Amino acid sequence: MLIETVNIVLLALLAVTAIAAVRLHDLFAVAMMFSIYSLLAAAMFVLLDAVDVAFTEAAVGVGISTVLMLGTIGLVGRHEQPSTRRSLLPLAVVIATGAALIYGTLDMPFFGDPTAPVHQHVAPFYITGSPSQTGVPNVVTSILASYRGYDTLGELAVIFTAGVGVLALLGLRRRKRPGKEETTK
Amino acid sequence: MSGVLDVLSVVLLAIGTLFTLIGGIGLLRLPDVFTRLHGASVTDTLGAGAILLGLALAAGWSLLMGKIIALLLIMALLSPSTAHALARAAIHGIRKPWLDEAQK
Amino acid sequence: MTLTITLIALLVTMALALIRAIKGPTVYDRILASNALGTKTVLMIAVLGFVVGDPELYIDIALMYVLIGFIGTVAVLKVSEFGNLGQPQSRTDPEDT
């Protein structure tokens, strides 16, 4: 009961943060809003017992992506270009897509339904086997880090490459500006 | 003995809750960044400290207590550093703290 | 019971900090509010551990969050003060006096 209430409050705060991020025009403030958003989302993931996702969300959302966004703001300026066009058509497209997606969820089994197909197929194998096979107490962690270990390693390589690429892009432009290291270029 | 610790834990939690709320209200109501820093600092030091000490007493003598004390020490180190860095950045960026009308 | 009240107070404080982050008006207000929200999240996770009954795990998460939050805040402050992430050249920028 208490946990549900906390979940609902966190979801409400998430919605408020998202709306504020859309409405603000100062990009620095929007970056701060995104940082707050990932903080709240990470807290929600902790409540949902998805510890790994919460770790990732906190590290990537609060740490790395805020820093990268701020680096980009340093390059492109702090203020959003005011939009002159009416955005009714995109709004209609988004509403139609959202309605179609919600309509699609009506056929899905309810959240946590034990008779859902996804809980009948391979899930029992992992749930019953993971403590003895891997020795990891958390099932999600055992699947991410042990059964799918190579997959996770590949993801890490991709993310690391992307981070290095973005940092190289941001750093290259920066070095020219002060005019002191022109000789090395 | 354990009863005394439980009562102490509840009292500390209550104190921490009170200061957290006061700090939150201060964060919202005070007039500018430098005064709002006071509100945030109250929650970061006294509020967090009292709540974490209360939790440590509730945890009892164990590894968990050590972890909570470590968290408390880390927060006691990092919160003032953050507040100092923020005040320094703000005084460079704003240059003009809010003053009472009578002192201007 | 006390834990429940503490949890609710932390949520209320998070909401207050969020209002401050939205209202601004300066960048530093938003950074301050975001940092305060981070601290409240750490405390909330620590208290939640005792409410849920699995404090060992939740305290580990709280420990990591407080470190990540510190790195994030310092990076944001560096950008707002020096205009970038603190490469040595940036200290010669004209706006840094």
Q: What is the ipTM of this complex?
A: 0.82
Overall domain count for chain C: 1
Mean pLDDT confidence for A152-179: 74
Confirm whether B100 is domain-assigned.
Answer: no
Higher model confidence: residue C87 or residue A24? A24
Mean pLDDT of chain B: 83
Do the domain assignments include residue A47?
A: yes
What does the pLDDT read at residue C83?
61
Q: Do chains B and A touch (3 or more CB pairs under 8 A)?
A: no
- Tell whether A182 is covered by a domain: no
Average pLDDT, chain A: 80
B52: chain C residues, CB-CB within 8 Å: 43, 46
Q: How many domains does chain B have?
A: 1
Distance (Å, whole) CA B67 – CA A138: 20
Q: If pLDDT is split at 50, 70 and 90, which confidence band does A100 have?
A: very high
pLDDT recorded at residue C92: 43
Between residues B81 and B97, the one the model is more confident about: B81
- The single-letter DSSP state of residue A147 is I
* pLDDT mean over A152-180: 73
Highest mean pLDDT: which range of A88-92, A127-131, B32-36:
A88-92
Cβ contact C45:A46 at 8 Å: yes
As a whole number, mean pLDDT of residues C26-52 equals 86
| C70: in domain | yes
Task: For residue C97, tell me if it sits in a domain.
Answer: no
Please give the pLDDT value at position B30.
84
Of C32, C40, C96, the CB nearest to B36: C32
Total count of domains within chain A = 1
Peptide bond into C25 cis (omega under 30): yes
Q: For residue C90, what pLDDT is reported?
A: 42
Distance from CA of A74 to the nearest CA of C (A): 6
B71–C46: do the CB atoms touch at under 8 Å? yes
Q: How confident is the model at residue B1 (pLDDT cuts 50, 70, 90)?
A: low
Q: What is the pLDDT of residue B103?
A: 58
Query: Which residues of chain C neighbour A51 with C-beta distances below 8 Å?
Result: 57, 61
Is C10:C43 a contact under the CB 8 Å cutoff? yes
**DSSP codes joined into one string, A73-139:** HHHH-SBPPPP-S--HHHHHHHHHHHHHHHHHHTTSPPTT-TTSHHHHTTHHHHHHHHHHHH--SSH
Is any Cβ of chain C less than 8 angstroms from the Cβ of A106?
Answer: no
The pLDDT score that the predictor gives to residue A73 is 78
B51 located within any domain: yes
Q: Where in the sequence is the domain holding A21, given as residue range(s)?
A: 1-79
Considering only residues 19 to 48 of chain C, which have any Cβ-Cβ distance to chain A shorter than 8 Å? 21-22, 24, 27, 30-31, 33-34, 37-38, 41, 44-45, 48
Confidence of residue C85 (pLDDT cuts 50, 70, 90): low
pLDDT at A153 over 60: yes
Q: Mean per-residue pLDDT for A18-43?
A: 86
Whole-number mean pLDDT of chain C? 78
> Is residue A60 domain-resident?
yes
- Per-residue model confidence (pLDDT) at position B41: 85
Q: Centre a 10 Å sphere on the Cβ of residue A11 and count the other Cβ atoms it contains.
A: 13
pTM above 0.90, yes or no: no
Q: Tell me the pLDDT band of B29, cut-offs 50, 70 and 90.
A: confident
H helix or E strand, kind and range, residue A51: helix A51-57
Tell me the per-residue pLDDT of B50-83, one tens digit each, with 9 for 90 and over: 988 888 888 878 888 888 888 888 888 888 888 8
Find the domain containing B47 and state its range. Answer: 2-93
A-chain residue closest to C57, CA distance: A51
Judging contacts by C-beta atoms under 8 Å, the chain B residues touching residue C16 are 24-25, 27-28
**A83 pLDDT more than 60:** yes
CATH code for position A12: 1.20.120.1200
Ramachandran region of residue C53, left (φ > 0), alpha (ψ -120 to 50) or beta? left
- Going by C-alpha positions, the residue among A38, B82, A13, A46 that lies closest to residue C35 is B82
Residue C2 CB neighbour total at 10 angstroms? 17
CA distance B7 to A95: 54
Q: Give the one of C18, C31, C38 whose C-beta lies nearest to A13's C-beta.
A: C18
Tell me whether C15 touches chain A (CB under 8 Å).
yes
Examine the pLDDT at B102 and tell me if it is beyond 70: no
A173 found inside a domain? no
Residues of chain C above pLDDT 90, percent: 0
* Residues 6+ positions from A158 with CB-CB distance below 8 Å: none
Residue C59, pLDDT score: 87
Residue A168 lies in a domain: no
Residues of chain B found within 8 Å of residue C12, distances taken between Cβ atoms: 21, 24
Written as six digits, the tokens of C81 are 């003060």
| Percentage of chain B lying above the pLDDT 70 cut | 91
Q: Which residues of C touch A3 (CB under 8 A)?
A: 51-52
Chain B hits for C26, Cβ within 8 Å: 33, 90, 93-94
State the pLDDT at residue C94. 46
In a domain, B103, yes or no: no
Flag if A29 and C11 touch (Cβ within 8 Å): no
What are phi and psi for residue A80, nearest 5 degrees? -70, 140
